[in-house]
Amino acid sequence: MEEIIKKILADSLKVKKTFVGENISKLILLAEKTAAAFTSDRKLMLCGNGGSAADAQHIAAEFVNRYTLERPPLPALALTTDSSIITSIGNDYSFNDIFSKQVKALGIEGDILLVISTSGDSKNLLSAVNDARSRGIYAAGFLGSDEGKLVNLVDLALVANTESTPRIQETHILAGHILCHLVDYILFQRHLSDE
């Protein structure tokens, strides 16, 4: 079993290292856009399904509460958390509409939408991105495949290109933590290092 553990670790590290190497400029761009949205009284909305829903909630909590730096709360919202909204939309309309209706209700021009998907083909995320972009909301994706439809639909695609769902999810949460760290740096620490 020790060899299994070592193999999992090696695979995880390899996927993360490749992802960061391929997406470093995109991570910086997303952090800059998110920080700009926050300073313009706009928000970050996040969504995903299953484990990606949990990642959306995790990242939103890092912004609203804190990541590692003591600082004011930042406006981030996971669209995966309100069971009454999600079940009413799913029941009355379609599961494909659970995020897009929230984007229509809550999103405004200048907001950021971050969709998280291991497949890159989730219909409810495709619908949310379409509605976001039609409203002037910048759409980014933490994705697990460059073959899904989301990769060509979002404004910015950050892809952990592997067939292993666990390795994709581990990489997405690393990307989320990097995003939180960079936004905190841009908003609250950059000026200190420039002095």
Question: Measured between alpha carbons, how far is 40 from 109 in angstroms, rounded to an integer?
Answer: 11
> Tell me, what's the pLDDT at 192?
53
> With respect to CATH, is domain 2-194 assigned 3.40.630.30?
no
Reported confidence tier of residue 145, pLDDT bands at 50, 70, 90: confident
Q: Let me know: does 77 contact 43? Beta carbons within 8 Å.
A: yes
**Would the pLDDT of 105 be above 70?**
yes
pLDDT at 28 over 70: yes
Strands, DSSP E only, in the chain?
44-48, 76-78, 112-117, 138-143, 156-159
- C-alpha Rg value of the chain to the nearest Å: 17
Query: Is 90 exceeded by the pLDDT of residue 193?
Result: no
- Check if the beta carbon of residue 141 is closer than 8 Å to that of residue 116: yes
* Alpha-carbon gap, residue 120 to 49, rounded angstroms: 11
What percentage of the chain exceeds 70 in pLDDT? 97
Q: Which of 45, 57, 30 is nearest to 125 (CA)?
A: 45
CA–CA gap between residue 63 and residue 133 (Å, rounded): 23
Predicted model pTM: 0.95
pLDDT at 147 over 70: yes
